[in-house]
Every structure is written in C-alpha cells, then in structure tokens.
Structure 1
Amino acid sequence: MNKTALITGASSGFGLLTSITLAQRGWHVLATMRDPNRRENLESAARDAALQDRIEIHQLDVTDADQIAQTTALIASRAQPLHALINNAGFAVPGFAEEVSDAELRDQFNTNFFGATALTRAILPQMRRQRFGHVVMVSSISGRTGFPGVSSYVASKFALEGWTETLRYEMAPLGIKVSIVEPGSFATDIWTRNAKLSAAMSDPDSPNAARLARWQARVQASAKARANPQQVADLIARILETPAPKLRYVIGTDARTALLMRNILPQRLFERLLIKLSGLSD
C-alpha cells in the first residue's frame, strides 16, 4: 500500500517540489493550497512527470477553521491511513521590529504558527488512532537565530520550534514521529511573491528609510547565491523514510554557517558581524 502524505502550501516552492518528489517515490500526496487558482504550476509539474494519479489537489487555508475541519473529515473518511503531515505553508513580513504593526505581526503568526499548530492538532487524533504517523514542520534557520529586518518571521518560527519540540516529546510514546526542517536561503518566492511587506517599508518618512535601502540592497544581492530548493524536498523525503528521524535538520551552507558562528563566536562579535552583513551599520 502506498503511503499518504498531506502537504500544505503546495502551490510553489518547497511544497510543490516536495509533492512531486514524494509522488515520484511512490507516495500518494494530498497537496493543499490556500488559493486553488495557483494550482497550474503543480498540475503542470505532475503532468510532466506522469504523476497525476498520485497527487490530489485540495483547497486549504490553514487560518480557516472550517477548511481545516473539512480536510480532517476528508482524511478520516478514507480507508487509507495518513502517514505524514508536512506543514509547509507560510510567508514572511519583512520590516524592522519597531515599525511592524500589531495587525501585521498577528497576520504573520496566524499562518506561520497558529495555522500550523491548528492543523496539526486536528490531524493528531487520526494518528493516535493509527498509532503511527510523522509530522514534519518546515521551519527556518530563522527559528534558531534572529536576523535583522525579519523580526516577525523570526518570532513566528521561534514559536513554532518550541511548540514542535515539546510535541515531539509528547507524541513519542504514542508512536508518532515529529521533526523540524530548518532551511537557510533557497530560491523560492517566500521573499518575493509570498512576502507581505510591512507598510512602513514603503514610507519615505520612516526613520529607517536609509537603513532599509541598504538592507534591501543586501537581500537582493544575495538572491543570486540562493541554493536549489529541490535539496529541501529531497531532505523531507529522506526524513519521512528514516526509521528513527532526528528532531532538527539544518540544510543550506548559509544556515549551517550561521549556526556554527553563533555557537563558537562571542556574542558581541557575532552581533557585530551580523549587523555588518545586513548593511545596517554602513
């Protein structure tokens, strides 16, 4: 029997690539996305790989309780068990911490944290009945260390990591596995199409206008060096096929380097280096 995986945020980036990768490995994939009008890229990739019969596309906005309930009911109604849940849906709110509004911060958390945890809690009763299952949270290296200009995104990922680590301890005795994937910078649209800029970022009267311009220039300059996101999809597939998976998986040269530097450098030196690289002190 083919294993079944539910993936959120499957219209692009890691979600799309993971859907295709798992289907190629024999999984049956329930690929979900907030906006079904953005299904064309996934459908095209599935056709090109002759995988249409292994990928189902469903609407799921993880901030919508009714849609979560519908998805849970769909899974419960099937004879096949659900082997894996990959929480990938997310976006970023670039902006300096002092200027991000309460509404923008809540919007960031609603998807990246509350949406992921709500869907997971809805799916867990199914996995408890099965006595098996694997929850994979797609986090970020930003869930382990802060970075200037993305405080809201960092905060949502820190929260997600703490919740998920605790969940792993609680689920282990029940036979349910829990893992976190922490990518660095990859060539997805999270910082372009899937970014919701803080309103202050377009305010010419912002006291951070000059620093913002330097920060944006650094971000744009680094875009060319972003790695192939297929690496993350391949990693997620390997994690799901590992009998005893780890809690955390860091992926990306920049992510591993940032974590190493944070661990070995004195905090003051690490801070100076990070500020310099971000363009804030020019």
Structure 2
Amino acid sequence: MGKKTAIITGTSSGFGLLTAIELAKNGFYVIATMRDVSKAAKLEELAESHNVKDAIQVQPLDVTSSESIDQFQVFVNTLTSVDVLVNNAGFAMGGFGEEVAIEEYRRQFETNFFGTIAVTQTVLPSMRQQRSGKIIYLSSISGQIGFPGLSPYVSSKFALEGFSECLRLELKPLGIDVALVEPGSYKTNIWSSGKQIAKKSMLEDSPYYTYMKSFEQQIETEKARFGDPLEVAQLICSLAISDEIKKLRHPIGKGVKLGISLRKCIPWSRWEKLFFHRLGQKG
C-alpha cells in the first residue's frame, strides 16, 4: 500500500506550514496548497531540513476563486485517493459591527467559510467513493466565544462550526470523520500580517476608537504568552493518523478549555462582568 495523501490549504505560513511538515514526517504524501506559490520558499526550506521534501508537493489554490477551485478539482481527480483534508486557509478581520462594511464581512466569509466549503466539496466525491477519510477544520476559540472588535472573524468561525457539526452527522455513516481544531492564542501571523481591521474602526474620530485601542493593547500585552504553534500542528497530525476521530471539537491552548466551559456553564450576566473586568471596561 502506498502513502496516504493529505491536502492542506494555506501552507505558506503558520499552522498550515507546520502541519505539512508534521504529516510528511509521519508518512503522508502532502499536497501543500497556497494562493501564491512564490511564497513556498519557507515551506521548502523547512521540508529540506526535515528530509521530507520529496513527500510534499506545492499546488496553487485560491479558495476564493471559482476558477482556481475548478482547476484544483481537475488535479484532485488525478489522485489515487484523498485520505485527509486540512482546511487551514484564512485570515482575521476586525472592527466594530457598526463600522465594518458589508463588503468586508463578505470578504471574510469568502475565505474562512465559503472557500472552506468549496475545497471540501472538491474532495468529498473521492472520500465518499473510498468510504474513508478525515476532514479537519482549523476553527478557533472564536468559534465558540464572541469577542468585541472581531465580529467578522468570530462570525465566520461560528458559521464554520455549525457547518462542521452538520457535515460530521452527514458523513459519519459513510466512514468519513469531521473534526474541528479550536486553538486559542498562538504565535502565528493571524494577529499580524494575517489580520485586517475595518478602515472606520482605526480612525481617531470613531466612537469605538478607544475601545479598539484597548483591545489591540490587550493582544500586544499577551503576545509573549502565546503558545507554540507546533502544538496545534501535532494535534492535527495525531487526528490525521488516528484510526477514528471520536470527537468533533478539539480545543487547544492555555485557558481555552476553561474559557469554553465557563461560557457554557455560567449565566450570561456573570460572563459579561468577567469579560469586561478582564478588558478593564465598564459593562
């Protein structure tokens, strides 16, 4: 039996890049996709250093482009099997709800939600025919807990979680597992080059400017305590190589499980007080 094949989106940096290396180290043949293949140098260098370069194939894929998706579908049809799909491509759009343009919300959803569905649909025929496979979605603690100033990102992750819950129930009888990985704060570019803020919320005359700045400061203050993203890549790899993924949700990161448990267990009024106290805001 040949190597199992894994497809990963968004592999030019962060969780996607590290997951590609981890899966290759564990015997997978990895199709590492990225929107701009000119950014593959970091992945190729890391693959070389881990002696897995021959196990990784870079493919162009823009999850927001129907033409790119169609071209990728043609490529997928040439594969003998697709055993694992890791949907990682995404970015974070911030801003306060009143000030985020509808177009900005749409752009967030095109990548984080609709793009993810489109890629999923390219691999499902193969997985369904072979009656096996694993689909792993990179969600976030933001898929279960809302945060001020991040409604585009949070909304896209809430939508992804709902879709994943439905999909798991649809595909489990066909031998296909669906899982959500829900990281907290990690040292990736999601909060730097991968973050975009709605234009209005960054203007000094915005009624939310001070609030936005306090939230930004909170992130900057805590960056030194963000986790090692390799932990997340290793979790994804462990799910990929497991015989069966028995749970849908897999939270990971400092304080993430506690935060999700509190959000579910305590009254909303109490949650608000705790939240605003942590941010130094009046609720």
- Asked whether the 8 Å contact 2:183–2:232 carries over to 1, the reply is yes
1:224 and 2:220 are equivalent in the alignment: no
Report the equivalent of 2:19: 18
Report the equivalent of 1:130: 130
* 3-state DSSP of counterpart to 2:231: helix
* 3-state DSSP of counterpart to 2:171: helix
Instruction: Report Cα offsets for 1:197-255 as digits up to 9, x if no partner.
Output: 11123211101111122111111101111000000000001111222211111111221
For 2:256 and 2:186, how far apart are their aligned partners in 1?
10
Report the equivalent of 1:269: 270
Instruction: Report Cα offsets for 1:4-56 as digits up to 9, x if no partner.
Output: 10000000000000000000111110000111121111111111111110001
Q: CA deviation at 1:165?
A: 0.7
Report the equivalent of 2:255: 254
Report the equivalent of 1:4: 5
Task: Decide which moves more: 121-130 or 136-145.
Answer: 121-130
Instruction: Report Cα offsets for 1:125-172 as digits up to 9, x if no partner.
Output: 111121111111110111111111111101000001101110111111
For 1:27 and 1:193, how far apart are their aligned partners in 2?
29
Report the equivalent of 1:161: 161
Gaps of 5+ in 2: none
For 1:47 and 1:3, how far apart are their aligned partners in 2?
20
| Letter in structure 1 aligned against 2:94 | P
Report the equivalent of 1:68: 69
Report the equivalent of 1:215: 215
TM-score scaled by length of structure 2 = 0.96
Aligned length: 281
- Asked whether the 8 Å contact 1:168–1:178 carries over to 2, the reply is yes
- Asked whether the 8 Å contact 1:227–1:252 carries over to 2, the reply is yes
For 2:116 and 2:279, how far apart are their aligned partners in 1?
29
- Asked whether the 8 Å contact 1:211–1:279 carries over to 2, the reply is no
For 1:141 and 1:19, how far apart are their aligned partners in 2?
22
- Asked whether the 8 Å contact 1:140–1:182 carries over to 2, the reply is yes
Structure 1 segment 80-159 matched on structure 2, within 5 A = 80-159=80-159
| Letter in structure 2 aligned against 1:178 | V
For 1:97 and 1:254, how far apart are their aligned partners in 2?
27
- Asked whether the 8 Å contact 1:97–1:149 carries over to 2, the reply is yes
| Letter in structure 2 aligned against 1:176 | I
Gaps of 5+ in 1: none
Q: CA deviation at 1:279?
A: 4.1
Instruction: Report Cα offsets for 1:76-125 as digits up to 9, x if no partner.
Output: 113x3110110000000111122111011000000000000111012111
| Letter in structure 2 aligned against 1:92 | A
Change (3 A) 1:101 1:280: farther
Structure 1 segment 12-51 matched on structure 2, within 5 A = 12-51=13-52
Report the equivalent of 2:243: 243
For 1:248 and 1:261, how far apart are their aligned partners in 2?
16
- Asked whether the 8 Å contact 2:63–2:69 carries over to 1, the reply is yes
For 1:278 and 1:68, how far apart are their aligned partners in 2?
41
TM-score scaled by length of structure 1 = 0.96
